[in-house]
C-alpha cells in the first residue's frame, strides 16, 4: 500500500456537483469520488500526488488548516482514497511523464485566484517534475522549482559521499556494484557488516544486509536488471541510533524545523515508530549538509550515532517531506501548511516543536504498538499515540487499512504454512 503501486481506475461515480466549492465535496461521503470535475475556489488548492499513508498525512495536515485539497492516485484500493478530507481523482500514472498530462488536464478545470500548490511524496515524482517542470511552470507552485538543478543530483545516492566531504561530515565507506566483480571488490574493501542500497529510487526497495560473500553474489545475480547498487559499511547500532532533522527552506534560510528520533523500523530503513526529540548536533549537521546549496522547499537529513558518539550521514530527503511527516504535524510543526503558506505568499506561522505524541506506522508494523508496550525502557510518558490511519474524524481510511493489513497478514501466514 504505497504511492508506487499501480491500479486500473474503475468506473467513478458522477455524483460530485460540477462547479461545487471543494470544501463541499470534501464533506461528502467517501463513495462519491471526483473525476474530471470543475473546481471554482476562493483560494488556491493544494494538489497532493499519491494517496498512500504519506499522502493521507499531507491531506489531513492541509485540510485541517483550512486548505482545499485535491489528491491524485492510480490505485483505488489505497486507504487514502477513502478520505473525506480531499477530492480524490484517479489517474493513469503518478510517477512517470503521464503525470504531467494529468496535471495539465486538472489545471484546466480549476478556477482559483492563484496557482495550485503541488505536494509530492516519493523520489520518482520529484525526479519527473524536476526534469519536466517547464511544462508546468506557469500553472502550478512547486516550492523547489527554482533550484531543481541543484536539488535533483541529491536524489542520487552515489553523489552523497562527495557532498559529505564538502560539508565536513562523516559518511560510511561506499562502493558501487555494477557486476559480480564489483561485488567481490566490495567484500574485500568494505567487508561485513555491509548494507546494500539502491543508487536511484527503486519501487519499495530500501536496503539489504548480506551476511557473507556468497549471499551478496547470489543477490547481485538475482537483481542484475536493477544494477548498479551501492554497497556501504554498516555503522554499528540498532534503530534507536537513528536521528533526523526536517527543515523547510527558502533559498537556504530555515523557515521551519523539526528534530526526531527513530525507535523502530520494519523493514530496515523504513521507520515505523518515532518520537519528537530536539537534537542540536543533528540540526547542526543538517545545516552543514545543505549549507551553500540555496535550496528551497522541504528537506531532511537522517544520521546514525555510532557507539563512539560520532554521527554518520545516512541519507537526505529533498523535494518532499518524509514518510514520518505525521510525527512532525502531531508535535506542532505542520510542515505542509508552512509550505502552502510560503508558496501562496502568506506569512509563516510561528511554530514551536512539542513532545506530545509518539508516531506509529501500523501499516508496515501492525504489532509495533504491542512491541512498544513491552519495552522496559520505552513509555508514552504522558504523550499520546499517533497513527497513520486511526483518525476519529476520518474513519474510512482506517477501515480500508485494516482490510489490507488483514490480507497481508493472511498471505504471510499462508506462505509460512506452505500454502499458496
Q: Which is more confident, 301 or 415?
A: 301
Mean pLDDT is lowest, of 52-61, 227-236, 328-337, for 227-236
pLDDT above 70 for 195: yes
In the chain, what percentage of residues exceed pLDDT 90? 77
Identify whether the C-beta of residue 203 lies closer than 8 Å to the C-beta of residue 4.
yes
Quote the pTM value.
0.88
User: How many whole angstroms separate alpha carbon 402 and alpha carbon 390?
Assistant: 10
User: How many whole angstroms separate alpha carbon 153 and alpha carbon 50?
Assistant: 23
Count Cα neighbours of 416 within 13 Å in the Cβ-side half-sphere: 6
pLDDT above 70 for 276: yes
Q: Which is more confident, 259 or 208?
A: 259
Q: Which is more confident, 409 or 38?
A: 38
The pLDDT value given to residue 287: 98
Q: Which helix (H) or strand (E) holds 328?
A: helix 325-330
Q: Is the peptide bond before 193 cis (omega within 30 degrees of 0)?
A: yes
Q: Which helix (H) or strand (E) holds 231?
A: strand 229-233
> CATH for 239-389?
3.30.470.20
- Mean pLDDT to the nearest integer, 343-351: 95
Count Cβ atoms below 10 Å from residue 212 Cβ, excluding itself. 9
Q: Which residues are registered as beta bridge partners of 141?
A: 117
Q: Which is more confident, 7 or 372?
A: 372
Which fold, 22-142? Rossmann fold (3.40.50)
**C-alpha cell, 238:** 540498532
**C-alpha cell, 310:** 560520532
pLDDT above 70 for 339: yes
Mean pLDDT is lowest, of 204-218, 286-300, 378-392, for 204-218
User: How many whole angstroms separate alpha carbon 139 and alpha carbon 107?
Assistant: 7
- Mean pLDDT to the nearest integer, 55-76: 97
The pLDDT value given to residue 163: 96
CA distances from 19 to 16, 37, 85, 192, 307 (A): 9, 7, 18, 61, 60
Q: For the chain, what are the domain ranges? A: 22-142, 173-233, 239-389
Rg (CA), the chain: 21
> CATH for 173-233?
3.30.1490.20
The pLDDT value given to residue 228: 87
The tens digit of pLDDT for each residue in 383-410 reads 999 999 988 789 999 999 888 878 777 7
Amino acid at each position: 500500500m504505497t504511492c508506487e503501486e499501480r491500479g486500473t481506475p474503475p468506473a467513478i461515480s458522477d455524483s460530485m456537483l460540477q462547479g461545487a466549492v471543494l470544501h463541499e465535496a470534501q464533506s461528502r461521503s467517501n463513495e462519491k469520488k471526483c473525476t474530471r470535475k470543475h473546481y471554482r475556489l476562493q483560494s488556491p488548492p493544494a494538489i497532493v500526488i499519491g494517496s498512500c499513508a504519506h499522502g493521507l498525512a499531507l491531506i489531513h495536515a492541509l485540510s485541517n488548516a483550512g486548505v482545499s485539497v485535491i489528491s491524485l492516485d492510480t490505485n483505488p484500493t489505497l486507504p487514502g482514497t477513502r478520505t473525506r478530507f480531499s477530492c480524490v481523482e484517479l489517474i493513469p500514472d503518478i510517477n512517470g511523464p503521464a503525470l504531467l498530462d494529468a496535471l495539465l488536464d486538472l489545471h484546466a478545470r480549476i478556477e482559483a485566484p492563484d496557482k495550485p500548490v503541488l505536494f509530492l511524496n516519493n523520489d520518482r515524482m520529484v525526479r519527473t517534475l524536476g526534469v519536466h517542470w517547464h511544462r508546468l511552470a506557469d500553472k502550478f507552485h512547486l516550492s523547489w522549482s527554482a533550484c531543481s538543478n541543484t536539488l535533483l543530483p541529491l536524489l542520487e545516492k552515489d553523489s552523497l559521499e562527495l557532498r559529505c566531504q564538502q560539508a565536513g561530515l562523516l559518511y560510511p565507506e561506499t562502493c558501487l556494484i555494477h557486476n559480480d566483480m564489483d561485488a567481490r571488490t566490495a567484500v574485500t574493501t568494505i567487508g561485513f557488516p555491509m548494507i546494500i542500497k539502491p543508487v536511484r529510487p527503486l519501487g519499495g526497495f530500501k536496503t539489504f544486509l548480506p551476511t557473507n560473500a556468497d549471499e551478496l553474489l547470489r543477490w547481485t545475480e538475482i537483481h542484475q536488471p536493477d544494477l548498479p547498487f551501492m554497497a556501504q559499511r554498516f555503522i554499528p547500532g540498532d534503530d534507536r541510533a537513528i536521528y533526523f532533522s526536517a527543515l523547510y527552506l527558502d533559498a537556504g534560510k530555515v523557515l521551519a524545523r523539526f528534530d526526531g528520533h527513530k525507535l523502530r523500523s520494519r523493514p530496515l530503513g523504513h521507520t515505523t515508530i518515532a518520537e519528537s526529540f530536539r537534537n542540536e548536533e543533528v540540526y547542526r549537521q543538517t545545516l552543514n549538509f545543505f549549507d551553500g546549496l540555496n535550496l528551497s522547499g522541504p528537506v531532511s537529513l537522517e544520521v546514525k550515532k555510532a557507539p563512539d558518539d560520532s554521527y554518520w550521514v545516512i541519507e537526505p530527503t529533498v523535494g518532499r517531506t518524509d514518510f514520518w511527516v505525521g510525527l512532525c504535524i502531531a508535535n506542532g510543526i505542520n510542515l505542509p501548511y508552512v509550505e502552502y503558506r510560503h508558496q501562496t505568499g502568506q506569512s509563516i506561522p510561528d511554530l514551536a516543536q512539542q513532545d506530545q505524541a509518539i508516531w506509529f506506522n501500523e501499516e508496515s508494523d501492525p504489532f509495533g504498538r504491542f512491541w512498544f508496550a513491552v519495552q522496559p525502557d520505552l513509555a508514552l510518558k504522558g504523550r499520546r499515540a499517533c497513527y497513520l490511519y486511526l483518525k476519529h474524524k476520518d474513519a474510512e481510511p482506517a477501515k480500508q487499512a485494516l482490510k489490507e493489513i488483514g490480507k497481508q497478514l493472511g498471505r504471510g501466514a499462508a506462505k509460512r504454512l506452505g500454502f499458496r
